[in-house]
């Protein structure tokens, strides 16, 4: 009904309408656009509407789409020159273009038809342009046409962005060669006593492994300086509240995925409507230019939002090479020859480079260890049977039960999916193809040569985390561990800090009568509870009567800190630096094995560090110090000296220290006269450990709040603007509301028809 009414209304709109003829269309598609550039695309079938979506993506965001497919394919240097050659060499080893072409042939006929229709629409959009985007003029080239496999490259690009396990596993492999086993187990624990999994731990709460009795080395390490230690997994939040807890009686979903923030932003707002016979669909929300459909949003009955699941699906394999023939590696049934590929990497303005890519039956060779042993990787993103675009089926789900089944079968980058439906129900499901490991746990590279280790297909569906209709009416994720410990160990070993999840739980509490404004206020919450430990350490270890005036002033500012990451706060800037320095200092003792052997690149969670800092065990006081108070005081003094010497000194407000730097990807290589339009630098609130995650280049790529039964009350904020052209009035027109946290509507505003995509007339002989 809604599609027919809207279509009739649009056909009555007046104004200039551009008619575009396309022979692939079954029926006319009308595209109306509001004042912010957000399109509503109406047609009689999904395929025709997807053509319209591809048309608009191309017209507004073709450069972004092109960059994403080129990134995954290792083809950036072809457009932008030798500055991107190293990146291409790293990514081309995966042979993304060939892999995605193979994946396309393995998809269902329905998925293939959707990708073909979308590509047709993209090329229709390219053909309709009066001139190509300015970026192509700067680089002296024309855009290359779109193919269905290019959309799968965009999907691969997102998967690469959201995969965070590769360096960690290789670092753990090297650390195990240096550190004693008890330190490996302590430092690499996936457990944090503060964890708040949605699926509770069985029995008593999870505990850290025993604290070792001595540091690996009693050597005093060199001054660790101010280089940052790992801060955990910065990322996204989502939560859902059942109708029993809301003012309107409907379920509320809040989702704020955090990503690198660039210009233009990753998301493109869109509304898609189609009706054919009994099939009616309505999709509203956020799409990814280069991919068909709506990635995050609502179909009018169910709403969905994501956080990155941070599970481990990359396994590194130690290869055993035939001593008599280095072109062969060992497999369970003997020796097998590497598959060799010669990849040509084109470089704009220079000669092409050649890359030799070697593949095993499990995946490509990607590295070697300190002994020179070759390492291959097994990764579902490179396997046709492990990738699909089934998320498009969310257009037709009617409730959270249907949605859970669709998301179970969506093999994109694994996500923590939260769902809310118009009947007031909520649910959680982990999406993605999940490997069933045999003979190893995935923490370290192992050999698969004898067949004792490997993958036994996908993880049994009974082990996939799912929660439907929780008794307390609340679900939430924040990149934290979401399942009970044994179930979690099947999925990975690195989870985000529990701080954000705990804060979301605290803010929700036992509240009822929640509404959209309450959800947005939570997304903008700036409490930074993870820094309270470091404030206590500073105040305990540094005397108010310290002889250095600057140290005394820094201590005072720390004592006056209000516990938030608000832009006007000063003490948080000192505490943030102090936290990094304390952690790095302690980590240097933990991973320094003497004789110059160190594993400082090892990524460890903050849980073991916090355990040592909280308990301050006498047996682990560094040999060169008498007590922990002296250790922590000296670190504070070093931090104060460094900050005092910097411009602005100690008194710089947090908003300036945390200033955004949001830029067009090519801002640094474009002519100087263009750069003023391509970079935004503004003071901002937020912190990686606050619900409002924000750093200079990373933050909320969107904030969505929706009750699917009340779409007109839904809120959607995105940085930048809808257009990918800095010459457009829609280049930045959403940005101030996003930065200031002003509630802006999710639904498109008043609009008029701008384009009619019409079938090619049938001619009679």
The pLDDT value given to residue 147: 98
Least confident of 41-50, 269-278, 502-511: 269-278
Q: Quick: pLDDT tens for 291-313.
A: 999 999 999 999 999 999 999 99
Q: Where are the domains of the chain?
A: 209-230+529-562+570-652
Is 233 a residue whose pLDDT tops 60? no
The pLDDT value given to residue 11: 39
The pLDDT value given to residue 7: 42
Distance CA 417, CA 406 (A): 11
Structure letter (DSSP) for residue 380: G
Share of residues in the chain with pLDDT > 90 (%): 82
Q: Are 294 and 285 within 8 A, CB to CB?
A: yes
Angle between helices 96-106 and 46-73 (to 10 degrees): 150
- For tokens 């492994």, the residue is 209
pLDDT band per the 50, 70, 90 thresholds, residue 2: very low
Top CATH class of 209-230+529-562+570-652 equals mainly alpha
Quick check: helix, strand or coil at residue 536? helix
Mean pLDDT within 425-445: 97
Is 280 a residue whose pLDDT tops 90? no
Is 389 a residue whose pLDDT tops 80? yes
Share of residues in the chain with pLDDT > 70 (%): 95
Following DSSP, what letter does each residue of 553-587 receive, concatenated? HHHHHHHH--SB--TT-SHHHHHHHHHHHHHHHHH
534 CA to centre of own chain: 28
pLDDT band per the 50, 70, 90 thresholds, residue 646: very high
Instruction: Name the nearest CA neighbour of 693 among 430, 475, 499, 417.
Output: 499
Q: Write out the H or E segment, with its range, that includes residue 597.
A: strand 597-598
- For tokens 């309408």, the residue is 17
User: Distances from the Cα of 441 to the Cαs of 312, 313, 489, 693, in angstroms?
Assistant: 10, 11, 8, 31
The pLDDT value given to residue 540: 97
Is 234 a residue whose pLDDT tops 80? no
Is 764 a residue whose pLDDT tops 70? no
The pLDDT value given to residue 451: 97
Instruction: Name the nearest CA neighbour of 308 among 354, 257, 263, 349.
Output: 257
Q: Quick: pLDDT tens for 71-101.
A: 999 999 999 999 999 999 999 999 999 999 9
Quick check: helix, strand or coil at residue 474? strand
In this structure, the strands spanning 237-241 and 374-378 are unpaired
Q: Quick: pLDDT tens for 587-621.
A: 988 888 877 788 888 888 889 999 999 999 998 88
Question: What's the burial of 17, exposed, middle or buried (CB within 10 Å: 0-12/13-18/19+)?
Answer: middle
Is 1 a residue whose pLDDT tops 80? no
The pLDDT value given to residue 16: 83
The pLDDT value given to residue 277: 66
pLDDT band per the 50, 70, 90 thresholds, residue 243: very high
179 CA to centre of own chain: 31
Distance CA 374, CA 562 (A): 52
Structure letter (DSSP) for residue 671: -
pLDDT band per the 50, 70, 90 thresholds, residue 737: very high
β-sheet with 426-430: strand ranges across: 18-22, 751-759, 29-34, 39-43, 268-276, 279-287, 296-298, 302-308, 415-421, 426-430, 466-468
In this structure, the strands spanning 237-241 and 474-477 are antiparallel
More confident residue, 668 or 684: 684
Structure letter (DSSP) for residue 112: H
List the structure tokens of 596.
């110059």
Is 319 a residue whose pLDDT tops 80? yes
Cis peptide before 250 (omega within 30 of 0): no
User: Distances from the Cα of 597 to the Cαs of 219, 223, 734, in angstroms?
Assistant: 11, 16, 50
Least confident of 166-175, 376-385, 679-688: 166-175
Is 218 a residue whose pLDDT tops 70? no
More confident residue, 320 or 621: 320
Q: Write out the H or E segment, with its range, that includes residue 276.
A: strand 268-276
The pLDDT value given to residue 278: 66
The chain-wide mean pLDDT, for the chain, equals 92
Q: Write out the H or E segment, with its range, that includes residue 520.
A: helix 516-523
Distance CA 454, CA 523 (A): 41
The pLDDT value given to residue 39: 98
Cβ neighbours of residue 704 closer than 8 Å, sequence gap 6 or more: 253, 254, 255, 256, 285, 286, 296, 297, 305, 714, 715, 716, 717, 746
The pLDDT value given to residue 601: 86
> What are the residues facing 426 on neighbouring strands?
420
List the structure tokens of 59.
């017209």
The structure's pTM equals 0.94
Longest CA–CA span in the chain (Å) reads: 99
The pLDDT value given to residue 324: 97
Distance CA 685, CA 635 (A): 26
The pLDDT value given to residue 604: 86
Question: What's the burial of 65, exposed, middle or buried (CB within 10 Å: 0-12/13-18/19+)?
Answer: buried
Q: Write out the H or E segment, with its range, that includes residue 756.
A: strand 751-759
Q: From start to end of 332-473, where are the E strands?
A: 334-337, 339-345, 353-359, 365-368, 374-378, 415-421, 426-430, 435-438, 454-458, 466-468
pLDDT band per the 50, 70, 90 thresholds, residue 235: confident
Cβ neighbours of residue 451 closer than 8 Å, sequence gap 6 or more: 332
Question: What's the burial of 171, exposed, middle or buried (CB within 10 Å: 0-12/13-18/19+)?
Answer: middle
Q: Quick: pLDDT tens for 503-555.
A: 999 999 999 999 999 999 999 999 999 999 999 999 999 999 999 999 999 99
Is 563 a residue whose pLDDT tops 60? yes
Cβ neighbours of residue 759 closer than 8 Å, sequence gap 6 or more: 21, 22, 23, 25, 26, 27, 28
122 CA to centre of own chain: 25
Residues in the chain: 765
> What are the residues facing 274 on neighbouring strands?
43, 281
Following DSSP, what letter does each residue of 314-354 receive, concatenated? -EEEE--EETTEEEEEEETTEEEEPEEEEEEE--TTS--EE
């Amino acid at each position: 009904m809604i599609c027919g009414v809207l279509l009739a209304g649009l056909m009555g709109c007046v104004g200039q309408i551009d008619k575009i003829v396309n022979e692939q269309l079954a029926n006319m598609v009308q595209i109306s656009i509001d004042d912010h550039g957000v399109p509503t695309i109406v047609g009689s079938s999904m395929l025709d509407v997807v053509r319209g979506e591809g048309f608009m993506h191309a017209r507004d965001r073709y450069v972004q789409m092109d960059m994403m497919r080129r990134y995954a394919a290792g083809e950036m240097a072809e457009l932008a020159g030798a500055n991107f050659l190293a990146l291409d060499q790293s990514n081309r080893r995966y042979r993304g273009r060939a892999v995605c072409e193979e994946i396309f042939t393995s998809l269902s006929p329905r998925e293939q038809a959707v990708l073909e229709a979308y590509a047709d629409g993209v090329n229709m959009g390219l053909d309709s342009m009066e001139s190509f985007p300015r970026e192509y003029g700067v680089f002296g080239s024309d855009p290359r046409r779109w193919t269905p496999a290019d959309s799968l490259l965009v999907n691969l690009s997102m998967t690469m962005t959201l995969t965070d396990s590769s360096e960690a596993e290789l670092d753990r492999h090297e650390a195990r060669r240096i550190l004693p086993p008890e330190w490996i187990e302590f430092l690499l624990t996936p457990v944090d006593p503060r964890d708040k999994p949605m699926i509770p731990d069985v029995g008593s709460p999870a505990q850290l492994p025993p604290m070792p009795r001595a540091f690996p080395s009693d050597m005093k390490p060199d001054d660790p300086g101010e280089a940052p230690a790992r801060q955990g997994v910065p990322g996204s939040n989502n939560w859902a509240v059942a109708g029993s807890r809301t003012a309107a009686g409907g379920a509320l979903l809040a989702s704020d995925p955090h990503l690198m923030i660039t210009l233009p932003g990753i998301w493109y707002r869109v509304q898609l409507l189609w009706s054919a016979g009994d099939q009616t669909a309505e999709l509203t929300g956020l799409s990814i230019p280069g991919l068909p459909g709506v990635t995050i949003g609502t179909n009018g009955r169910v709403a969905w939002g994501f956080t990155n699941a941070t599970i481990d699906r990359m396994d590194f394999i130690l290869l055993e090479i035939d001593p008599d023939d280095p072109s062969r590696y060992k497999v369970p049934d003997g020796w097998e020859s590497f598959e060799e590929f010669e990849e040509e990497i084109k470089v704009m303005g220079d000669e092409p480079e050649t890359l030799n890519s070697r593949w095993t039956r499990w995946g490509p060779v990607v590295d070697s260890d300190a002994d020179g042993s070759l390492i291959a990787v097994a990764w579902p993103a490179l396997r046709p049977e492990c990738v699909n675009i089934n998320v498009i089926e969310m257009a037709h789900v009617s409730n959270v039960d249907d949605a859970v089944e669709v998301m179970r079968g969506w093999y994109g980058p694994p996500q923590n999916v939260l769902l809310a439906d118009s009947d007031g129900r909520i649910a959680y499901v982990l999406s993605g193809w999940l490997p069933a490991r045999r003979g190893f746990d995935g923490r370290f590279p192992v050999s698969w040569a004898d067949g004792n280790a490997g993958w036994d297909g996908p993880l049994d569906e009974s082990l996939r985390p799912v929660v439907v209709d929780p008794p307390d009416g609340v679900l939430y994720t924040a990149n934290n561990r979401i399942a009970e410990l044994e179930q979690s160990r099947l999925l990975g070993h690195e989870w985000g800090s529990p701080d954000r999840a705990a804060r979301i739980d605290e803010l929700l509490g036992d509240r009822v009568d929640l509404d959209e404004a309450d959800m947005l206020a939570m997304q903008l919450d700036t409490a930074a509870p993870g820094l309270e430990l470091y404030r206590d350490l500073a105040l305990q270890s540094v005397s108010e009567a310290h002889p250095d005036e600057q140290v005394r002033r820094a201590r005072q500012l720390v004592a006056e800190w209000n516990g938030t990451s608000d832009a006007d706060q000063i003490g948080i800037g000192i505490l943030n630096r102090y936290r990094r320095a304390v952690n790095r200092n302690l980590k240097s003792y933990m991973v320094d094995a003497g004789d110059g052997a160190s594993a400082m690149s090892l990524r460890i969670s903050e849980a073991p560090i916090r355990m040592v800092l909280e308990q301050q065990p006498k047996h682990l006081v560094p040999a060169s110090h008498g007590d922990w108070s002296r250790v922590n005081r000296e670190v504070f003094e070093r931090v104060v000296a460094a900050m005092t010497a910097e411009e602005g000194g100690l008194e710089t407000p947090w908003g300036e220290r945390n200033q955004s730097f949001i830029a067009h990807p090519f801002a640094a290589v474009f002519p100087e006269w263009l750069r003023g339009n391509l970079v935004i630098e503004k003071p901002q609130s937020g912190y990686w450990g606050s619900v409002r995650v924000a750093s200079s280049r990373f933050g909320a790529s969107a904030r969505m709040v929706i009750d699917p039964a009340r779409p007109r009350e839904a809120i959607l904020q995105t940085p930048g603007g809808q257009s990918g052209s800095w010459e457009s009035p829609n280049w930045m027109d959403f940005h101030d509301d996003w930065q200031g946290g002003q509630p802006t509507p999710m639904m498109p505003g008043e609009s008029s028809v701008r384009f009619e995509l019409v079938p090619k007339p049938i001619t009679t002989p």
